[in-house]
């Protein structure tokens, strides 16, 4: 197998049918100088009203209640003023803080799941390994049978360990459940608070947490077969040849098999990175008309990848997700919402793959279709290896804002894992930014989505033809329709504020000032954590007869949720979706200062999600 380091700077020459290519014209990546621009957040004085209503205690549909909630929140914030000081990196501690996690789906009664790991009183700090050589995780569809044999052997040994061994597959699978389904507190005693449960999805914790999880998982596998050089495979779902579930995972007699999967999605079916559904389901739901051919599916997937990795994921917050600090529960600050908003890949391809693999088996959609059970499917780890690979590729894409956060609360966030010697280890995000320092990289394969830029459905259409009825065109509503329950297609006109002038850095030098990106922010998205929901966001669409697809520039992105809930009153997810739009608006020929029309298209769980507001922001990070 090839073993050179993945370098997306080499554009593929693979002839991918059915999409127009357009070479990226990036600016040369500039050298970053460390800029001391640490954002101090969670300040007591930063209590903007529009953020206050993000409290989960606020009723999700009633504006009046929202305002009431706002009042009580302000009251609360003055009472707990000292807690602002607690905003800090997350640092879970299960010596006393691991509680039972509960999974629940829809209205069905919750089911308790014991996810806590075996206890241990001694925690050691993680130290970077001594790296002798970089080992390359292979693409799962390209490995030979010797590799499969070795991998299966390692998995077999892991599965054979006693259930209470922290290295056993059962315990490893529970790690995901515990961190996702609120078994931990955000911080160590005495700062832990019953309301401060840790959530590692829908925020900047997503990539580093999962990277660490896989790293320790891989070390355990290698140790079990006495091969310190062992590396796990990645599911190369972002490339045409890797878009079906990798063969080694679908052999029913293999240790890599999981029977709780969607049997309709076995190979040769290709994953749908947009909806996570197969062509038949899409047809049944009226989402697509006619046949989605294999080439159409590939084109759609590649365009989505371009969108999520390149045009939408061009800032740390848009790629990684929004900031999340411990102790933020009481702070009325955008950066302190419990699940503030995931990045493009987390919210997009990542969730779609979970949905695609998980059995459509109500009420829980196990295994991959629910975060509490996802770790029980061996395919989860190959899926997340590719997610992890996306982070590596992203860091090498041109553009000076495609860089990791420098925020100390992110860098110092830590998680606990058992290593291959059963030591309980605390690892920090700052140690996991560069995989080569951890000793691994990824096999070099083609990256065809780099050239799969969406194209406008209606080229050069110019301005919005306000009010014009055209085919099934929905009536454009005024902006003040919010908050609303999204139960049908909604189109709103969104005014675009003046772009603020780019300020120079404090030293008068603008080298370290990020470029502004125009983002569409869908605020206060409220949905039951256990509901499967998806809606698309389209910009300046001409008519609604032909659904907009990811191949069209008008497609800005989607919001998706899969069940990951808790069985308590606070089971509502309150989050936001930010979609970078600069490139899209340019492609659609929208002039500066020209308003846009945003269409929200419910695609799954219509009526189960409400939206607080839509606005346009200009962001730097
Ligand atoms: Cu923690 Cu793919 O999820």
Kindly give the parts of the chain with pLDDT less than 50. 1-86, 105-107, 329-333, 460-473, 502-510, 512, 567-569
Q: Which conformational region is residue 42 in: left (phi greater than 0), alpha (psi within -120 to 50 degrees), or beta?
A: left
- Per-residue pLDDT at 469: 31
Beta partners for residue 618, in sequence order: 518
String of DSSP letters for 490-527? EEEEE--PPPPPPPPPTTS--TTPPPPEEEEEEEEEEE
16 token code pair: 């991918």
Q: Which atom of ligand 1 is nearest to the CA of 387?
A: 2
CA of 371 to the centre of ligand 1 (A): 6
Cα(342) to centroid(ligand 1), Å:
11
Name residue, tokens 């995000």: 429
Other beta carbons within 10 angstroms of residue 127's beta carbon come to 9
- Location of structure tokens 């008309």: 289
Model pTM score: 0.81
* Ligand 1 binding pocket, CB closer than 6 Å: 176, 180, 201, 210, 350, 354, 371, 374, 384
Chain centroid offset of residue 5 CA: 24
- CA 494 to chain CA mean position, Å: 26
Residue whose pair of structure tokens reads 């054979």 in the numeric block: 160
> Exposure string (b/e) for 307-326, b if CB count within 10 Å is 16 or more?
bbbbbbbbbbbbbbbbbbbb
SS3 417: strand
pLDDT attached to residue 74? 26
How far away, in angstroms, is 99 Cα from ligand 1 center?
20
Beta bridge partners of 611: 484
Residue in the structure block whose two tokens are 């693999």 = 357
- Ligand 1 atom with least separation from CA of 200: 1
Show the tokens assigned to 496: 């675009």
Angstrom distance (rounded) from CA 373 to CA 33: 42
Sign for the CA dihedral angle at 24, 25, 30, 36 comes to: negative
> Measured between alpha carbons, how far is residue 290 from residues 67, 302, 455 in Å?
47, 20, 21
Closest residue by CA, ligand 1 atom 3 = 371
Closest CA to 584 of 548, 612, 614: 548
Atom of ligand 1 nearest to the CA of 180: 1
* Cα 517 to ligand 1 centre (Å): 28
| Token digits of residue 191 | 């700062």
Can you give the pLDDT at residue 595? 92
Residue 609 tokens, joined = 């999600």
Helix (H, G, I), strand (E, B) or coil at 70: helix
Q: 585, 394, 597: which is closest to 494 by C-alpha?
A: 597
Distance CA 189, CA 191 (A): 5
The whole-angstrom separation of Cα 511 and Cα 302 is 33
d(CA 371, CA 113): 12
The helix/strand/coil state of 359 is coil
Contact 474, 486 (CB under 8 A): no
What local confidence, expressed as pLDDT, does residue 352 receive?
Answer: 94
Active site members:
176, 201, 210, 350, 354, 371, 384
Q: Which atom of ligand 1 is nearest to the CA of 351?
A: 2
Residue environment code for 407-431, b if the CB has 16+ CB neighbours within 10 A, otherwise e:
bebbbebbbbbbbbeeebbebbbeb
CA distance 273 to 551: 12
Q: Which of 528, 544, 424, 506 is nearest to 93 (CA)?
A: 424
* Other beta carbons within 10 Å of 333: 24
pLDDT in tens, 323-368: 888 765 444 445 556 778 899 999 999 999 999 999 887 667 889 9
């Amino acid at each position: 197998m090839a073993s050179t380091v993945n370098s997306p700077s080499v554009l593929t020459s693979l002839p991918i049918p059915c999409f127009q290519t357009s070479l990226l014209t990036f600016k040369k990546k500039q050298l970053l100088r460390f800029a001391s621009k640490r954002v101090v957040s969670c300040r007591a004085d930063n209590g903007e009203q529009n953020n206050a209503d993000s409290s989960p205690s606020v009723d999700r549909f009633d504006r009046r209640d929202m305002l009431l909630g706002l009042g009580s929140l302000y009251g609360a914030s003055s009472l707990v003023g000292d807690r602002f000081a607690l905003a800090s990196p997350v640092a879970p501690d299960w010596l006393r803080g691991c509680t039972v996690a509960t999974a629940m789906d829809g209205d069905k009664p919750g089911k308790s799941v014991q996810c806590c790991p075996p206890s241990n009183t001694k925690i050691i700090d993680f130290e970077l390994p001594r790296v002798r050589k970089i080992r390359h995780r292979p693409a799962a569809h390209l490995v030979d049978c010797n590799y499969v044999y070795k991998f299966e052997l390692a998995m077999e040994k892991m599965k054979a360990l006693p259930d209470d061994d922290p290295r056993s597959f059962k315990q490893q699978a529970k790690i995901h459940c515990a961190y996702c389904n609120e078994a931990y507190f955000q911080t160590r005693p005495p700062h832990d608070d019953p309301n401060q449960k840790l959530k590692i999805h829908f925020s900047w914790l997503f990539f580093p947490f999962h990277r660490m999880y896989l790293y320790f998982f891989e070390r355990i596998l290698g140790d079990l077969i006495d091969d310190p050089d062992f590396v796990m495979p990645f599911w190369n779902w972002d490339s045409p040849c890797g878009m079906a579930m990798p063969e080694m995972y679908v052999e029913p007699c293999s240790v890599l098999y999981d029977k709780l999967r969607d049997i309709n999605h076995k190979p040769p079916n290709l994953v749908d990175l947009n909806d996570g559904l197969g062509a038949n389901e899409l047809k049944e739901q009226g989402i697509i008309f006619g046949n989605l051919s294999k080439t159409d599916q590939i084109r759609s997937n590649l365009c989505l990848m371009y969108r999520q990795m390149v045009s939408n994921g061009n800032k740390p917050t848009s790629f990684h997700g929004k900031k999340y600090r411990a102790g933020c529960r009481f702070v009325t600050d955008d950066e302190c919402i419990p699940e503030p908003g995931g990045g493009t890949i987390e919210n997009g391809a990542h969730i779609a793959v979970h949905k695609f693999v998980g059995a459509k088996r109500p009420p829980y959609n196990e295994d991959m279709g629910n975060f509490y059970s996802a770790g029980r499917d061996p395919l989860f780890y190959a899926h997340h290896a590719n997610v992890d690979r996306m982070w590596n590729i992203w860091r090498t894409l041109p553009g000076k804002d495609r860089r990791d956060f420098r925020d100390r609360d992110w860098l110092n966030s830590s998680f606990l894992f058992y290593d291959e010697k059963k030591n309980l280890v605390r690892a920090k995000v700052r140690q996991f930014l560069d995989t080569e320092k951890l000793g691994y990289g990824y096999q070099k394969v083609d990256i065809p989505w780099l050239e799969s830029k969406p194209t406008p459905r209606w080229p050069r259409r110019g301005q919005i033809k306000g009010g014009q009825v055209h085919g099934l065109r929905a009536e454009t509503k005024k902006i003040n329709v919010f908050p609303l329950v999204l139960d049908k297609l909604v189109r709103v006109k969104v005014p675009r504020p003046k772009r603020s002038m780019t300020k120079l850095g404090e030293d008068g030098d603008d080298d370290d000032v990020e470029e502004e990106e125009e983002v569409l922010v869908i605020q206060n998205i409220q949905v039951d954590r256990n509901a499967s929901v998806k809606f698309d966001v389209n910009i300046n669409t001409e008519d609604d007869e032909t659904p907009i697809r990811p191949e069209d520039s008008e497609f800005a992105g989607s919001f998706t949720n899969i069940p990951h809930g808790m069985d308590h009153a606070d089971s509502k997810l309150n989050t936001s979706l930010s979609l970078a739009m600069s490139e899209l608006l340019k492609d659609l020929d929208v002039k500066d200062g020209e308003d846009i029309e945003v269409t929200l298209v419910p695609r799954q769980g219509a009526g189960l999600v409400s939206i607080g507001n839509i606005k346009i922001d200009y962001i730097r990070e």
